[in-house]
């Protein structure tokens, strides 16, 4: 019998699918919902599990706080944590703790799962990721507890603090505060700052966090870390100014900066975004599409992809080579960036068209063009922001958006890499072909 050999891409994808399936079963259990309430449907259980594992935050449950039991909320929190760190990372960490030897095959899977260039130091990296996450989340939990203890009993405050910390660090966007998300805390400076800090730290990625801790100096940081930090700061500032400009009378500066940060994969909301103008919603969709950074808990095309594309365009227009920080970026990076964005945009628009056709037959809720488009971009970017239509989607639309969240979390290149064993390693040939120019534009 021939042994089936799976690529690292396939192993990563299957690990996420397995956790989504397991989470679906757990959320379907009768005691995952509060006493007196019916258990979730299979479609809603699947959608919620996929949204948690893919750290999105979209929910077909109108009010998670009033629907899920304590067990259901714990399951949701664990799914978010596993989805943020990655099942491969957690599985390897457990094996290391148990003293089980990690072979070359497992290390190669880790390398691909964490998008690394070299095989060395994978076990050390896994340890660093898990321990760093626990330390950061511990600090976040303490600060959140200080906020929530003013409104809840000790154990309720502790539960809210833990859930909110896990959700914010992993850029998930789920909350158990009610249907209005964080709108009741829009003026609470401590909770806002802590939440924004958790989102940013989780969104810049574990490699950058580790680099900052090790180097402790901007000058000594790697080129990759500098690009991530600069692009992240630019997007935060630009988003804040644009949102405040477009919604000058509707948001405070604190709400503007919070919205700017959360739109890039977190999904929390301190304002009612359905009241925003179309111009603001389009800007938010662009930011959702960009997303966080590689090796982070967020989705989207990633900040480095945006940076490479922008620098490629400016270097082409100026007729100069792609030079950044006194380093020349190889053509493979440029090609990969443009391919990724093209695939991501094509998949998102395709899903939008299909969902639009399905929802045109929805007799219980009349959805607008912008609402469906916004929902689709939110799903791909694993953001979780919504204009309120998620609970009213048709079952087929829920399944399709769950699939889009899965693609957004893993990244289009991982998905297409499963189908193409030579992805990223073009097949070489000894045949030389004549060079030909064609008219472009």
More confident site: 10 or 34: 34
68 phi/psi in degrees, rounded to 5: -80, 145
- Burial (CB count <10 Å: 0-12, 13-18, 19+), residue 171: buried
pLDDT attached to residue 397: 95
Flag whether 156 is in a domain: yes
Cβ–Cβ < 8 Å for 159, 73: yes
Structure tokens at 265: 């994969």
Confidence of residue 57 (pLDDT cuts 50, 70, 90): confident
3-class DSSP state of 68 = strand
- Of 29-38, 152-161, 424-433, least confident by mean pLDDT is 424-433
Average pLDDT (82-105) is: 70
Residue 426 has pLDDT above 60, yes or no: no
Confidence of residue 418 (pLDDT cuts 50, 70, 90): low
Distance between CA atoms of residues 67 and 235, nearest Å? 36
Confidence of residue 128 (pLDDT cuts 50, 70, 90): confident
Place of tokens 């714990």: 74
Distance between CA atoms of residues 26 and 1, nearest Å? 35
Residue 364 has pLDDT above 90, yes or no: no
pLDDT attached to residue 379: 93
What's the CA dihedral at 329, 348, 399, 422 to 10 degrees? -40
Flag whether 434 is in a domain: no
Distance between CA atoms of residues 397 and 358, nearest Å? 7
Place of tokens 């009010």: 63
pLDDT attached to residue 322: 79
pLDDT attached to residue 336: 84
Residue 219 has pLDDT above 70, yes or no: yes
pLDDT attached to residue 209: 87
Distance between CA atoms of residues 29 and 38, nearest Å? 10
Distance between CA atoms of residues 174 and 163, nearest Å? 9
Confidence of residue 86 (pLDDT cuts 50, 70, 90): confident
Residue 359 has pLDDT above 60, yes or no: yes
Flag whether 421 is in a domain: no
Flag whether 439 is in a domain: no
More confident site: 119 or 139: 139
Cβ–Cβ < 8 Å for 408, 54: yes
Task: Quote the crossing angle between the two packed helices 122-148 and 104-113, to the nearest 10°.
Answer: 50
Q: Give the rounded percent of residues in the chain with a pLDDT score beyond 90.
A: 44
Backbone Cα Rg of the chain: 22
pLDDT attached to residue 217: 83
Confidence of residue 246 (pLDDT cuts 50, 70, 90): very high
Average pLDDT (108-127) is: 67
Confidence of residue 404 (pLDDT cuts 50, 70, 90): very high
Average pLDDT (162-184) is: 87
pLDDT attached to residue 416: 63
Number of domains present in the structure of the chain: 1
Flag whether 426 is in a domain: no
pLDDT attached to residue 1: 43
- State pLDDT tens for residues 375-388: 999 999 989 888 98
Closest CA to 284 of 251, 259, 249, 257: 259
Flag whether 427 is in a domain: no
pLDDT attached to residue 415: 66
Flag whether 435 is in a domain: no
Mean confidence (pLDDT) of the chain: 85
Flag whether 198 is in a domain: yes
Give residue 162's domain range: 8-416
Cβ–Cβ < 8 Å for 91, 35: no
Residue 33 DSSP symbol: B
- State pLDDT tens for residues 261-319: 999 888 888 888 888 999 999 999 999 999 888 878 788 899 999 999 998 888 888 88
Cβ–Cβ < 8 Å for 123, 102: yes
Average pLDDT (194-210) is: 89
């Amino acid at each position: 019998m021939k042994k089936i050999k799976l690529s690292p891409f396939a192993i990563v994808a299957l690990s996420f699918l397995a956790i989504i399936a397991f989470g679906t079963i757990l959320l379907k259990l009768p005691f995952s919902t509060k006493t007196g309430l019916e258990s979730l449907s299979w479609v809603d259980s699947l959608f919620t599990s996929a949204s948690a594992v893919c750290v999105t935050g979209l929910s077909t449950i109108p009010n998670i706080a009033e629907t899920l039991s304590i067990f259901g909320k714990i399951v949701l929190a664990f799914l978010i944590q596993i989805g943020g760190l990655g099942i491969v990372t957690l599985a390897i960490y457990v094996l290391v703790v148990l003293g089980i030897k990690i072979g070359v095959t497992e290390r190669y899977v880790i390398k691909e799962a964490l998008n690394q260039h070299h095989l060395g130091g994978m076990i050390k990296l896994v340890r660093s990721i898990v321990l760093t996450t626990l330390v950061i989340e511990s600090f976040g939990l303490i600060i959140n507890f200080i906020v929530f203890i003013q409104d809840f009993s000790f154990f309720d405050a502790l539960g809210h603090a833990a859930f909110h910390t896990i959700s914010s660090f992993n850029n998930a966007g789920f909350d158990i505060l009610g249907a209005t998300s964080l709108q009741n805390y829009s003026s609470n400076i401590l909770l806002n700052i802590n939440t924004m800090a958790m989102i940013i730290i989780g969104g810049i990625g574990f490699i950058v966090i580790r680099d900052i801790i090790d180097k402790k100096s901007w000058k000594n940081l790697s080129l990759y870390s500098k690009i991530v930090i600069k692009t992240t700061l630019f997007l935060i500032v630009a988003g804040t100014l644009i949102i405040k400009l477009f919604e000058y009378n509707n948001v405070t500066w604190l709400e503007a900066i919070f919205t700017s940060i959360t739109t890039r994969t977190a999904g929390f909301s301190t304002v009612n975004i359905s009241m925003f103008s179309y111009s603001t919603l389009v800007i938010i969709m662009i930011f959702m599409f960009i997303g966080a950074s590689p090796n982070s808990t967020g989705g989207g095309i990633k900040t480095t992809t945006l940076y490479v594309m922008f620098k490629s365009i400016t270097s082409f227009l100026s007729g100069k080579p792609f030079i950044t920080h006194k380093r020349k970026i190889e053509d493979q990076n440029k090609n990969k960036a443009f391919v990724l964005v093209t695939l991501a945009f094509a998949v998102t628009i395709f899903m939008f068209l299909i969902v639009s056709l399905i929802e045109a037959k929805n007799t219980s809720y009349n959805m607008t063009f912008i609402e469906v488009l916004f929902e689709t971009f939110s799903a791909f970017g694993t953001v979780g922001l919504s204009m309120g239509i998620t609970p009213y989607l048709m079952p087929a639309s829920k399944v399709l958006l769950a699939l889009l969240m899965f693609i957004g979390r893993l990244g289009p290149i991982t998905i297409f890499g499963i189908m193409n064993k030579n992805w990223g390693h073009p097949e070489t040939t000894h045949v030389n072909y004549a060079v030909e120019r064609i008219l472009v534009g």
